[in-house]
């Protein structure tokens, strides 16, 4: 069985990593214990495998900013361009930075959001296209998700179906074709991880008042978290 390729584009804060693990651990847990995974650290220059070696691809979040256009980002975008152009392209899911990376690769516009950071547990507006989507249909009855981002997809790529938006972002999630998705929110974040992120940003990217106002509204988002399990169900049978 082919593994799901987790393209690691960064790490969480060291203090969080000690207590909760890192991005790839949270994603692997969300995919399920029976889903084989392979982690490739794109930031550290690990060799990127041939797309055909993966049953599916999940691109992690990152503390890096896409507008920095670092060499490793350009290398990863070239790999994505090649993978997306193949007739047998593996299904993909981009999370936060991964969502932005996919959007930029597909021709969208990504930059700092003029309203600043979006953080905590927030509500989404799902579009009609999401109601029957293989990954997003389950969010219809509880459209809440964990957010932690400063940059956004300001203009969605041409030819995609926008699946979710809200008052902060017009493109909180999209689908390209039938099996490539991006989501600005974090399906891999638990409520505890979100609270820890808010505390870590206190006095840095968020004011004390913003953190104090946001913390009481943080809650678990089981439907949003189920996105990773739905992705695993979508890709693993095809790899058998």
Residues that are catalytic:
96, 186, 188
* Strand 37-41 relative to strand 4-8, pairing: parallel
CB 67, CB 151: distance < 8 Å: yes
């Amino acid at each position: 069985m082919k593994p799901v390729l987790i393209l690691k584009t960064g790490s969480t804060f060291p203090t969080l990593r000690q207590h909760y693990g890192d991005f790839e651990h949270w994603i692997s847990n969300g995919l399920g214990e029976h889903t084989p995974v392979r982690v490739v650290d794109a930031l550290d220059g690990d060799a990127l495998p041939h797309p055909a070696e993966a049953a599916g691809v999940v691109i992690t979040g990152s503390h890096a900013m896409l507008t920095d256009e670092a060499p490793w980002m350009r290398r990863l975008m070239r790999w994505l361009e090649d993978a997306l152009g193949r007739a047998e392209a593996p299904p993909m899911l981009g999370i936060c930075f991964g969502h932005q990376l996919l959007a930029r690769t597909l021709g969208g516009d990504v930059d700092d959001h003029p309203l600043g950071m979006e953080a905590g547990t927030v509500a989404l507006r799902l579009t009609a296209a999401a109601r029957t989507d293989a990954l997003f249909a389950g969010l219809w009855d509880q459209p809440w998700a964990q957010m932690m981002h400063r940059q956004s997809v300001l203009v969605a790529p041409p030819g995609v179906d926008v699946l979710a938006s809200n008052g902060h972002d017009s493109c909180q999630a999209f689908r390209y074709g039938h099996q490539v998705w991006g989501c600005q929110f974090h399906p891999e974040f638990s409520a505890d991880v979100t609270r820890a992120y808010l505390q870590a940003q206190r006095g840095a990217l968020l004011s004390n008042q913003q953190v104090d106002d946001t913390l009481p509204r943080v809650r678990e988002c089981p439907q949003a978290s189920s996105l990773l399990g739905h992705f695993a169900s979508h890709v693993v049978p095809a790899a058998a």
